[in-house]
Structure 1
Amino acid sequence: MRVKVRIYCKRCGERFVLRGRRETNRIETGFKRCLCDNADEFIFEEEAL
């Protein structure tokens, strides 16, 4: 299922809006890390397309 994902960085406050695929208990967007080199501290919100 396709979803719209909003990703917020807890360190610098940068926001990203991506489209991804909902897999069993996980969302695959290809997003790896923020511009501030943060790879762990994020808030994810999803919305069905």
Structure 2
Amino acid sequence: MVRVKVKITCKSCGERFVLRGTKERGQIQTGFKQCVCDHVHFLIEEMEAL
């Protein structure tokens, strides 16, 4: 398990969030469920290791 910095962009309203998450077996987990606009479709990008 590796800690990573993640940028999340909502595909509906364009709101951006920067969070910390964990990367295990190629999958990133942040606990982020939905945007403030109530949409659940977003793009997750890994920024850098912490």
Please give the TM-score of this superposition, normalised by the length of structure 2: 0.85
Could you list the per-position Cα deviations for residues 1-45 of structure 1 after superposition, in whole angstroms to 9, with x for gaps in the alignment?
A: 0000000011101000000110112111110000111112x1111
| Greater than 4 Å deviation, 4+ residue runs | none
Unaligned runs of 5+ in 1: none
Q: Corresponding residue for 1:15?
A: 16
* Percent identity for Structure 1 against Structure 2: 65
Unaligned runs of 5+ in 2: none
Cα RMSD between the aligned structures? 0.9
AA aligned opposite 2:24: E
Q: How many residues align?
A: 48
Please give the TM-score of this superposition, normalised by the length of structure 1: 0.86
